Amino acid sequence: MAAKFNMNPLKNPMPTQDPTVRNGNFDEVALGYTAEMAIDEAKRCIGCKNRPCVAACPVNIKIPEFIAKVAEGDFEGAYQIIAEDSSLPAVCGRVCPQETQCEGKCTRGIKAGCEAVGIGRLERFVADWHNANCTVQPVPAPLNGHKVAVVGSGPAGLTCAGDLAKMGYEVTVFEALHVAGGVLVYGIPEFRLPKAIVQKEVDNLKALGVKVETNMVIGRVITIEELKEEYGFDAVFIGSGAGLPKFMNIPGESLKGVYSANEFLTRSNLMKAYRADSHTPIQHGKCVAVVGGGNVAMDAARTAKRLGAEVHIVYRRGEEELPARREEIEHAKEEGIIFDLLTNPTRILPTETTDPRDPAYGWVNGIECIRMELGEPDESGRRSPKEIAGSEFVIPVDCVIMSLGTSPNPLLKATTPGLETLRRGEIAVDEVGKTSIEGVYCGGDAATGAATVIKAMGAGKVAAKAIDEYIKTSKATK
Ligand SMILES: Cc1cc2nc3c(=O)[nH]c(=O)nc-3n(C[C@H](O)[C@H](O)[C@H](O)COP(=O)(O)OP(=O)(O)OC[C@H]3O[C@@H](n4cnc5c(N)ncnc54)[C@H](O)[C@@H]3O)c2cc1C
């Protein structure tokens, strides 16, 4: 008889493409578990009573229950359990920072030398199995006669839309771009999250009755006020994200060949720059500097590498302080990305020509940097980087990608009278996502600033519940 539990202290490793092959293609890096590997990994879960993994998941997926189904080989049963709480499992299984959430609290990972159960890998396996094998379409709920508008089709908007549709609301998602999915399609590269997977999740929502209107910039084409007053939406959810990039304000940032990471990734992702038949206006640099050390910087660097460049990550702190996920840093290193740590840009240098008719005029030709050292720890133990005088040097690059963070776009604030925002442009909300305007809710990066997919989904869920209560109460009192 097969053993009930698998007491192996380590996770089943995730099969991946060879780094020297994958750094030249855009196919998915991680290949996913087989059914045997998934069952074996699921048996590492001991189904502990206090279930710390569930509390650490922002949408409280019933993790031990779905894993128990996987251990039994009932993959559709596992999917149905996940689907009760998450509308984007194939996405979350791939991109959630599980190490700081569910897996960070897993009892199996507490002892030194032991690893948590591979919850994310199992979630991914179950969602992929369902998408490959299940042909049953979700059935739309009977309509309750009320309409809700959702602004933005990222994880916050899609989750809110899905939950409301399941409650019987007629939901329309208005998306500024020509394709739905938010950062999941225009930010996260194909090799980490294939676009077909996001499309499948969007199609599942459409099957629930959610309408998606693309090329609709709310605040320009229609205002929020008009959605309520003229188009008859009972409530509006804003999930417009945080797509406004930050720059360093150093000389040379307006040269040709300087991108924000958002622009670079959007062009690469949405216009399929990696395809031989693409005519994308994106630079395939020979040598690229990516400034920053977060997940977005890793995505931009690994994309530039796949487009044929030598790539440097330029980051002013040390290895320990790199904010990107460890897995992403390791993957980037394996793929040949060069890490220039304790290094800070001081200016971006142009080509030498001064003749505006010369095609080389006004392009990037290098990035001047200064070496840094870490100072003494402050009260919180944090060591701030300081410049080392006279240590300037130049990295000869023809493209610079700034990846220094983003903030919410000010358009909705500017076009929605009475919509209150915080210091960095985040839309002000209460704990259930209620904004300063009656019937208008908000969640995800638009309310928190740049965060994570699962946090945006969690906010979408909470707001959907609050919108349902608001509509029921306000209609009852009218
Ligand atoms: C390159 C990159 C990699 C990332 N990697 C990860 C990761 O691995 N794991 C993780 O958890 N998180 C990751 N994140 C963060 C994560 O993607 C975001 O936190 C999440 O997508 C936020 O979801 P959202 O729904 O709030 O906004 P978004 O995903 O930004 O979606 C907002 C949508 O609203 C649309 N919109 C904006 N304004 C309007 C308007 N006026 N009218 C209509 N539509 C509008 C936008 O076009 C967009 O489609 C990454 C982010 C980036 C940029």
Question: Which residues are paired to 421 by β-bridges?
Answer: 427
Q: What average pLDDT score do residues 360-370 get?
A: 96
**CA 174 / ligand 1 centre spacing (Å):** 14
Which residue of 188, 233, 244, 401 sits with most ligand 1 atoms within 8 Å of its CB, as the best mutation to test the pocket? 188
3-state class (DSSP) for residue 343: strand
Å from CA of 241 to ligand 1 middle: 5
Please determine, for residue 34, whether its predicted confidence score (pLDDT) is greater than 80. Answer: yes
**Per-residue pLDDT at 280:** 61
**pLDDT class of 41 with cuts at 50, 70, 90:** very high
Q: Which residue has the higher pLDDT, 376 or 262?
A: 262
| Pocket test residue of 453, 455, 457 for ligand 1, highest count of atoms within 8 A of CB | 453
**Topology of domain 147-242+407-477, CATH:** FAD/NAD(P)-binding domain (3.50.50)
Nearest Cα residue to atom 37 of ligand 1:
240
Query: How many Cα atoms sit within 13 Å of 331 on the Cβ side?
Result: 27
Phi and psi of 260, rounded to 5°? -80, 155
Domain ranges of the chain: 19-133, 147-242+407-477, 247-404
Does residue 274 surpass a pLDDT of 70?
no
List, in order, residues 6 or more apart from 244 with CB less than 8 Å away.
406, 407, 408, 409, 410, 425
Average pLDDT over residues 33-40: 97
399-421: burial string, b at 16+ Cβ within 10 Å, e else: bbbbbbbbbbbeebbebbeebeb
Q: What Å distances lie between residue 179 and 138, 149, 151, 199, CA to CA?
A: 22, 17, 13, 9
Query: What's the rounded mean pLDDT across residues 89-117?
Result: 92
- Ligand 1 mean position to 334 CA, how many Å? 27
For residues 315 and 296, what is the distance between their CA atoms, to the nearest angstrom? 13
Name the phi and psi angles at 402, rounded to 5: -90, 120
Answer whether 446's CB lies under 8 Å from 244's CB. Answer: no
Give the DSSP H/E element, type plus range, for residue 261: helix 261-270
pLDDT score at 329: 96
User: Which of these ranges, 4-18, 176-190, 272-286, 454-468, has the smallest mean pLDDT?
Assistant: 272-286
Residue 471 has pLDDT above 70, yes or no: yes
Is residue 127 packed enough to be buried (19+ CB in 10 Å), middle (13-18) or exposed (0-12)? buried
- CA distances to 200, 281, 347, 470 from 291, rounded to whole Å, are 33, 21, 12, 44
Please determine, for residue 46, whether its predicted confidence score (pLDDT) is greater than 80. yes
Q: What percent of the chain has pLDDT over 90?
A: 82
Structure confidence at residue 275 (pLDDT): 53
Fold matches, 147-242+407-477 and 247-404: yes
pLDDT for the residue numbered 279: 58
The pLDDT confidence band at residue 477, using thresholds 50, 70 and 90, is low
Say what the pLDDT of residue 112 is: 83
CB 396 within 8 A of CB 364: no
Cα 419 versus chain centre, distance: 26
Neighbours of 308 (CB within 10 A): 12
DSSP of 368-407: EEEEEEEEEE-TTS-EEEEE-TT--EEE--SEEEE-S-EE
Nearest atom within ligand 1 for CA of residue 158: 25
326 in helix, strand or coil?
helix
Going from the Cα of 373 to the center of ligand 1, the distance in angstroms, rounded, reads 34
Contact assessment for residue 347 and residue 324, using Cβ atoms and an 8 Å cutoff: no
Residue 352 has pLDDT above 80, yes or no: yes
Confidence of residue 382 (pLDDT cuts 50, 70, 90): confident
Q: What is the DSSP letter of 219?
A: T
State the burial class of residue 183 (Cβ atoms within 10 Å of its Cβ: 0-12, 13-18, 19+): buried
- Measured in Å, residue 115 CA sits from the centre of ligand 1 at 30
pLDDT given at position 300:
97
State yes or no: pLDDT of 2 exceeds 70. Answer: no
Task: Concatenate the DSSP letters of all residues of 280-317 into one string.
Answer: ------SEEEEE--SHHHHHHHHHHHHTT-EEEEE-SS
- pLDDT confidence of 283, banded at 50, 70, 90? confident
Would you say residue 139 has pLDDT above 90?
Answer: no
pLDDT confidence of residue 309:
93
* Cα 3 to ligand 1 centroid, rounded to whole Å: 43
Q: In a mutational test of the pocket of ligand 1, which residue from 158, 222, 240 has the highest number of ligand atoms less than 8 Å from its CB?
A: 240
For residue 435, CA distances in Å to 60, 151, 222, 410, 421 come to: 24, 14, 19, 15, 9
Q: Is the pLDDT of residue 408 over 60?
A: yes
Stretch 398-421: mean pLDDT, rounded? 96
Q: Which two three-digit tokens encode residue 446?
A: 């638009």
Whether residue 476 is predicted with pLDDT greater than 70 in this model: the reply is no
Which residue has its alpha carbon closest to ligand 1 atom 14? 452
Class (C level, CATH) for 247-404: alpha beta
Residues with CB under 6 A from ligand 1: 95-97, 151-157, 174-177, 182-183, 187-188, 216-219, 239-241, 243, 265, 295-296, 299, 409, 411-412, 444-446, 450-454, 456
Atom in ligand 1 nearest the alpha carbon of residue 177? 47
Q: Are strands 364-377 and 383-387 parallel, antiparallel or unpaired?
A: antiparallel
Give the pLDDT confidence score for residue 277 in this predicted structure. Answer: 56
Q: Considering only CA atoms, which residue is closest to atom 10 of ligand 1? A: 452
Is pLDDT at 207 greater than 80 in this prediction? yes
For residue 264, report the distance from its CA to the centre of ligand 1, in Å: 15
Instruction: Read off the pLDDT of each residue in 274-301 and give the average, rounded to a whole number.
Output: 82
Q: Which CATH architecture has domain 19-133?
A: Orthogonal Bundle (1.10)
- Among protein residues, the one with the nearest Cα to ligand 1's atom 38 is 240
